[in-house]
Structure 1
Amino acid sequence: MQYHALSLSKHGFNVTFVGFLDSKPHQDVLREENIKLVPIAEVKGVRVGPKILTYVTKVIVQVLQLLRVLLKMDTQSHILMQNPPGLPSIAVAWLVSALRGSRFVIDWHNYGYTIMALSHGQRHPLVRLAKWYEHFFGPLATHNLCVTNAMKDDLQKNWGIKATTLYDRPASIFRETPLKLQHELFMRLADTHPQFQSERSEDSEAERTVFSVRDLTDDTVSLRAERPALLLSSTSWTEDEDFSVLLKALEEYEGFIKGGASLPSLVCVITGKGPQKEYYKKLIDSLSLEHVQICTPWLEAEDYPVLLGSADLGVCLHMSSSGLDLPMKVVDMFGCCLPVCAINFNCLHELVKHEENGLIFRDSQELAEQLKSLLSAFPGSEGRLGTFRRNLRTSRGQRWDDNWDQNVLPLVTAP
């Protein structure tokens, strides 16, 4: 949604950006004069009594809050929202659009009811109500965007909604990171995360960033001769991503090294915050790993693309609850020419091309074997990992701006 706001602003629109301020927006959004931020508060609902009472009161308060915020604003030509989350924002945004003559646009990234079903089950009354709600209010939008052709077909067939496919594309900030910026980032991270250190190489040809891991044993290779590989994943720590798959794979990878395999040690960085983060941090703390270090930092918006552009391999554990959306994190990784190992689901092939820009796996054992295969030639560039990176460099697709101008600008400028 920050990308949407910036694109609208660049084309001369005055944008009112409504949302939770639990994390700081990107500096580009904060600096843009045409974008006004209107924060809304996180609502908890009644904290006593049955859970259904908490949920109902939370929704009611959110409805009133959103109505107040949207009706206080100047009349907007368009109201654009992302779904999910759509309860209660779809109904409120549609109502305000109808009252004020605004055009209502939904950007479908998934279906909210399928996410609810992960924790409650398909037949739970709340899930069935949420499904009815999205099916009723979704078709009332003036325009619809969606993130895959598979979702476009499903919206047309099962919802009666004609949507425009707007594939997520990386912004220009996602690119391979120069060594100097890598060095500066790791110096900052080292203050709070000892897994990161950055040293100047004695190699006279160039400055080289070196990752240092606290618990590497003395008999491992010299850090100046060879560095651990940087493995990166990002998450909102929700139920549609099972990080135990990655942790089991890392344990198997540790076993490969102890068994004599010639593999680099790993620094595995998992960025993000969310409801299951503390649960997985406890699992991570319980692991006994000598050659793999795992850290879970929260990064500022400006630092995330720099870290992504410094990594050697990305891992995606996003399991689409609907089987119809694509992980934005992989889009950003590809923008940085970062090869990816991604867990399989129905329409992933629209983004990840197996054996071309990454690998698709089904379980922790297959992921461990892929890590072993991809990193066997590390840090050289002659192996499969280097091939995937070269393929990404030569097959750069559209960036966000061109994609948005082609697919969304005509919708918001049409008479």
Structure 2
Amino acid sequence: MKNFAAIGALAAAIVISAPADAATAKRGSFGKLPDGRVVASVTLANARGVSATVITYGATLQSVVLPDRVGRRADVALGYDNIGDYLAKPQYFGGTVGRFANRIAVGRFRLDGQSYQTPVNNGKNSLHGGTIGFDKVLWEVVSVKNGPVASVTLRYVSPDGDQGYPGTMTVDATYSLDEKNNLSIEYVATTDRTTIANITNHAYWNLSGEGSSNGAMGHVVTIPAQSYLPTDDGAIPTGDYKPVAGTVFDFRRARAVGDRVRDARDQQIVWGRGYDHNWIIGTKVTPTEHLMARVSDPVSGRGFELWSNQPGLQFYSGNFLDGTSSGKAGKIYREGDAIVMEPQIFPDTPNQPKFGSARLEPGQTYRNIMTYRLTTGQPAKR
């Protein structure tokens, strides 16, 4: 018995002496849906004052708290502080969007000679999977881990025929945070029948703070892309690859979002009411991540590099935030108050063979990994 007691004391000592700077994952509750199901939350936090909260409704990134250059913390991700607002005024704030993120022309595509119709919910087109996409369903928590890398994995099983898409698709969304301020989101999906997949995260960023009056038009952006996809007036790509050189879409050198976001001389800007386009970072999904964008806020010193394995970056300048939603700080969200950067394959790929393929076959694994290398403007700890 003494030996067992000694072993127990040793185990307790090991737990107590675990590194104080290990990242943590803490479970919580975010309320209930009208049918009584509980919406869970998991907050990932590290010793540098960075945290990220994920809720199971929509596998949503509900909050990202980041210190500024003098250590003041602020939530830099737009969203709500209660489930009721996510239900009443959905705006994709931090949501996981799919099965097919972005737009499909007239909501229709063909696979192996068969036509499929998805809900039309954005003018005459389908957006972010349809009327009840992945951002509007309850996911389940399958794993929560502490350690050098804290993480939570959520799962949703989308049945055959869901929103018109073929095949039963099983999707895992893993959010992780480490002590180097790397916030990663990984989507993995499989199917039992040929289908299409394009899953990403729709976080809205205001690095001055989601309740700040500064907005995001002063954020300085770099996108290492030589070309982008022009669209028609419904935001469907025309199929052309247009060079960014000499246009308002040239972010190869860092410049503020607001420099030319209202330039009415460019019809693309007029149609989109700002930026809502896909930049071509590569031609296909790659085995490893590559740089998609850099974003910095000169006011607070906060910023991030975005890395992903995807070929396209949808950059949206918050053009349709219309002052009808108020966020966690009790301030309304106005046009230009945040920006969105979504790594993905190109919009309308199922209808445009030039863009590659969106097919996912049984036995294959879809994977989209994105990492926000967050910066605070503070010197790194030694």
The two structures have a TM-score, normalised by structure 1, of 0.21
Q: Which protein has the bigger strand share?
A: 2
Q: Which protein has the bigger helix share?
A: 1
**Which structure would you say has the larger Rg?**
1
RCO (CA 8 Å, sep 6+): is it higher in 1 or 2? 2
The two structures have a TM-score, normalised by structure 2, of 0.22
